[in-house]
Amino acid sequence: MTDVRTHLSRLDKPLQYATRNDFANLSKLRELEPFVKHQIQAMQSLPLPASMPALLTQLAETVVGFDDLTLTEKRPRAQQAAQILSRLHALSDRADAPPAPVPPPKPTATPTPAPAAVSEDPLAQPVQFMRGVGPRRAALLGKLSLHTVGDLLWCLPVRYEDRRNITPLGMLQAGTRRTFCGTVTAFQLHPTSRGKSFATLRLEDSSAPLTCKWFQHRGLALQERFPIGARVVGNGLIAFNRYDGNREVVHPDLETLEADDTELVHFGRLVPIYPLTAGLTQKNMRSLMHNTVETFVPLIRETLPQSVCTAHRLPVLEQAMRGVHFPDDNSDLAALNEQRTAFHTRLVFEEFFLLELGLAIRHREVRNTRRDKHYDRPNHLGDALLKHLPFQLTVAQQRVLDEILTDMHRPFPTNRLIQGDVGSGKTIVALLAMLLAVSNGQQAALMAPTEILAEQHLATLRALLQHLDLEVALLTGTVKGRSRQKLLQRIADGEVSVLVGTHALLYENVQFHGLGMIVVDEQHRFGVMQRAGLRQKGLRPDVLVMTATPIPRTLAMTLYGDLDLSILDELPPGRLPAKTVDKGHQAYIVYPLIEESESLDLGAAAAMAEHLRHAVFPEYEVGLLHGRLAAEERDAVMRAFVEGRLHILVSTTVIEVGVDVANATVMLIENAERFGLAQLHQLRGRVGRGTARATCLLLPGQKLSRESRQRLKVMQESTDGFYVAEQDLQIRGPGELLGTKQSGLPELRVGNILHHGVWLERARQSAFTLLDEDPHLSREEHRALLQAVQTRWGRQFELATVG
């Protein structure tokens, strides 16, 4: 390394000279380019540590055409060069150090990416590394989830302000929004009659004064930030003050200008506005961003292969990063603000592309995993069940079942999504598949989203399996103490063949004897990341995910993009003989049930049931159903309704999924605005299952927000589940649609599946095609891409290293 070191220290001299004392000598520096290149050439003939050549190339690039640059352009270049040089020093020091002891080999077969490769990524450096970022500011940035240089670069402006043209104060016209610049000449607090005060700052330039006004302010903070004599730049809506005849602007965006604000970062251009957190000013943030862009964007490695960029007419990454953060003067302000410039699109595409590539790789990896259980024995339990079934499978059911069984006979684990409307008969299909696993000595588990549904499933499965000699058990939170311990033991011993429970089971450490298959019913939080997580628990079952919720395509591509898909697109023929009824269909009345106010809503439902029973419909039987009833009571009520002994069922949302009474034709939903669209759609789906025309009444509470009104309107407009889901997505966003924050959705930084759906489709296409062509991303031009997808999704999707 000695020789390398010599060359590096030769490079130190001009670069230290250039950057010293805030670049004081920069104008005197000559011939940097040939000098640097000469040293680099000399080094290239020496044996070098692995990542050094790439850095040397980057260094050479920073000095290209150096002498011809303006001073402003030279500064960031010189700074970059100095930074690259210090990394080169660090590398050569490390190469000299005695080799680290070899760590014991890991027990896993999965190779992990070499850590060195990751730490060489300049964008992985923590933000503290940046000039002007100490521990305090780093903590503030941390609140915005900005931990690394890469995080900063991917934190895009929320909007842009047009500060290209500064209007002299004398030329400001009332009624226009303008950018202006002036010197603070006075600060005043004006008491008002109601004991409050407003604050004014007087600005002046050579042409006229302008009053800046704040109501609700912290007067002293204003005075501190904009002291008399300070030069400021601002933007706002200009108004005319009738009393003093001056122009004024209320609550302007105002920033001070410092003497060295000559680089046109904060004004005289289209200025980016970033998300902030308390304690961080826009100006701090923008300076930091400018610094980051100038220093690191040139070090960015292009991720997308050129063919992909060309096909979608996308600018290269470096250009896109500059373009979104500090756009050129001739950019289109509206396009910037709507995030639809080519630069934005490129970043959105990249994010989607990496996501879809991650999903594609995961899909492929699952198919490359050898299954550890084999279903050599025939499905004798399934066949036995079929013999006892009171109906025949529909064509769609048979087709989907075949798809699953084919999967199960393949050499890799099954990972399939079954989509089918409520009542399409998913349960029996899943059960028949589970029985193949059980016929082969494995266990199978069925997971439901709520305890009630788990209990319903248990009842269904027990009834269906009554002729088979199998142990079917329920494990939910309500099974406690000794019986829980005993059950866990029987599961571990393999005595339980079929286990029904809630999803919570997956997060507890239930020990299985041999879990062959997991069926997950109606649970969107069981997205790609959760499924990937199973492997960490040492479970590698076949996985079926079932859903009745129509999932908008873009969402499905994000959540389930790694699954194979089966669709049950046929409802079984009506099997209940039509009841002879004089006036008599049945009706539901539904009350929302919100966790925090459970007792209150329950009270409302119970009171309503009483009221209906005695005062309104004394001639009918009215039942009450809610989650607090004991299981037997609930069953009894449900059975009474199913069998027509109850005419009106007052209920909380427990009837939402899975309940099917064809004779029920009227539903009244109280406080309908409290339900999400998907939920309303599910509820409404409970009526209109028979031949009679059904009615669903949505009874809103009193105060309706705009959003609620919009939602109820969608329900009126359409009964098409996909339309409703799509609208729900538009109104509420994916996180809300799927539940709370842990929606199971991979987190995206710039891509938005609502606004950029088209690009998601394109990215998916493109990613899957690319992986077909280069299954291991082993081609040279895909190296950076492989690294990027590993960094971004490798851990969360549990990707083994590709290649």
Question: Which parts of this chain interact with ligand ADP (CB under 6 A)?
Answer: 391-394, 397, 420, 422-428, 548, 572, 575, 658, 660
Name which of Mg ion, ligand ADP, none residue 485 binds, using a CB cut-off of 5 to 8 Å depending on partner kind.
none
Q: Decide whether 529 or 655 has the Cβ nearer to ligand ADP.
A: 655
Q: How far is the CB of 638 from ligand ADP (least distance, A)?
A: 13
Q: Decide whether 113 or 423 has the Cβ nearer to ligand ADP.
A: 423
Name which of Mg ion, ligand ADP, none residue 428 binds, using a CB cut-off of 5 to 8 Å depending on partner kind.
ligand ADP
Q: Decide whether 126 or 423 has the Cβ nearer to ligand ADP.
A: 423
Residue 114 structure tokens: 């070499």
- Reduced to 3 states (helix: H, G, I; strand: E, B; else coil), residue 291 is helix
Q: How far is the CB of 658 from ligand ADP (least distance, A)?
A: 6
- Reduced to 3 states (helix: H, G, I; strand: E, B; else coil), residue 314 is coil
CA distance 223 to 603: 56
Q: Decide whether 287 or 424 has the Cβ nearer to ligand ADP.
A: 424
Start-to-end Cα distance in the chain: 31
Name which of ligand ADP, Mg ion, none residue 240 binds, using a CB cut-off of 5 to 8 Å depending on partner kind.
none
Residue 527 structure tokens: 């997205």
Q: Decide whether 572 or 775 has the Cβ nearer to ligand ADP.
A: 572
Q: How far is the CB of 385 from ligand ADP (least distance, A)?
A: 12
Residue among 298, 289, 265 at smallest CA distance from 137:
289
Q: Decide whether 234 or 658 has the Cβ nearer to ligand ADP.
A: 658
Q: Decide whether 529 or 654 has the Cβ nearer to ligand ADP.
A: 654
Alpha carbon of 709 to those of 338, 590, 671, 673, 724: distances in Å? 26, 19, 12, 8, 14
Name which of Mg ion, ligand ADP, none residue 425 binds, using a CB cut-off of 5 to 8 Å depending on partner kind.
ligand ADP
Q: How far is the CB of 560 from ligand ADP (least distance, A)?
A: 17
Q: Decide whether 372 or 660 has the Cβ nearer to Mg ion.
A: 660
Q: How far is the CB of 574 from ligand ADP (least distance, A)?
A: 8
Q: Are strands 564-568 and 542-547 parallel, antiparallel or unpaired?
A: unpaired
H helix or E strand, kind and range, residue 153 = helix 149-153
Q: Decide whether 508 or 660 has the Cβ nearer to ligand ADP.
A: 660
Name which of Mg ion, ligand ADP, none residue 215 binds, using a CB cut-off of 5 to 8 Å depending on partner kind.
none
Q: Decide whether 401 or 712 has the Cβ nearer to ligand ADP.
A: 401
Whose structure tokens read 């996180």?
Answer: 735
Q: How far is the CB of 440 from Mg ion (least distance, A)?
A: 25
Name which of Mg ion, ligand ADP, none residue 660 binds, using a CB cut-off of 5 to 8 Å depending on partner kind.
ligand ADP
Name which of ligand ADP, Mg ion, none residue 679 binds, using a CB cut-off of 5 to 8 Å depending on partner kind.
none
Residue among 376, 447, 431, 384 at smallest CA distance from 408:
376
Q: How far is the CB of 655 from ligand ADP (least distance, A)?
A: 13
Name which of Mg ion, ligand ADP, none residue 572 binds, using a CB cut-off of 5 to 8 Å depending on partner kind.
ligand ADP
How many of the other CB atoms lie within 10 Å of CB of 539? 15
CA distance 229 to 204: 10
Q: How far is the CB of 568 from ligand ADP (least distance, A)?
A: 7
Residue 607 structure tokens: 């009171």
Q: How far is the CB of 657 from ligand ADP (least distance, A)?
A: 8
The partner residues of 250 in beta bridges, in order of sequence, read 213
Binder among 527, 658, 685, 734 for Mg ion (CB under 5 A): 658
Q: At what angle do helices 757-773 and 342-368 cross, to 10 degrees?
A: 50
Name which of Mg ion, ligand ADP, none residue 393 binds, using a CB cut-off of 5 to 8 Å depending on partner kind.
ligand ADP
Q: Decide whether 521 or 673 has the Cβ nearer to ligand ADP.
A: 521
How many of the other CB atoms lie within 10 Å of CB of 777? 22
Q: Which one of the spans 247-255, 412-420, 654-662, 715-723 is the region binding Mg ion (CB under 5 A)?
A: 654-662
Task: Give me the residue whose beta carbon is nearest to Mg ion.
Answer: 658
Name which of ligand ADP, Mg ion, none residue 235 binds, using a CB cut-off of 5 to 8 Å depending on partner kind.
none
Q: How far is the CB of 656 from ligand ADP (least distance, A)?
A: 12
CA distance 737 to 547: 14
Whose structure tokens read 């991979």?
Answer: 746
CA distance 518 to 434: 8
Beta strands in 144-264 (DSSP E): 159-162, 177-191, 197-204, 209-214, 231-240, 247-250, 253-257
Q: How far is the CB of 437 from ligand ADP (least distance, A)?
A: 19
Residue among 525, 527, 537, 587 at smallest CA distance from 740:
525
DSSP character at residue 45:
T
Q: Which one of the spans 79-87, 130-138, 602-610, 652-660 is the region binding Mg ion (CB under 5 A)?
A: 652-660
Q: How far is the CB of 404 from Mg ion (least distance, A)?
A: 16
Q: Which residues contact 97 (CB under 8 A, 6 or more apart)?
A: none
CA distance 214 to 243: 17
CA distance 741 to 763: 25
Asked if residue 623 binds Mg ion (CB under 5 A), the reply is: no
Q: Decide whether 281 or 392 has the Cβ nearer to ligand ADP.
A: 392
Q: Decide whether 274 or 560 has the Cβ nearer to Mg ion.
A: 560
CA distance 232 to 184: 7
Name which of Mg ion, ligand ADP, none residue 423 binds, using a CB cut-off of 5 to 8 Å depending on partner kind.
ligand ADP
Name which of ligand ADP, Mg ion, none residue 370 binds, using a CB cut-off of 5 to 8 Å depending on partner kind.
none
Whose structure tokens read 């077909």?
Answer: 772
Q: Are strands 472-475 and 443-448 parallel, antiparallel or unpaired?
A: unpaired
CB-count burial class (<10 Å; 0-12, 13-18, 19+) for 135: exposed
Interacting residues toward Mg ion by CB under 5 A: 658
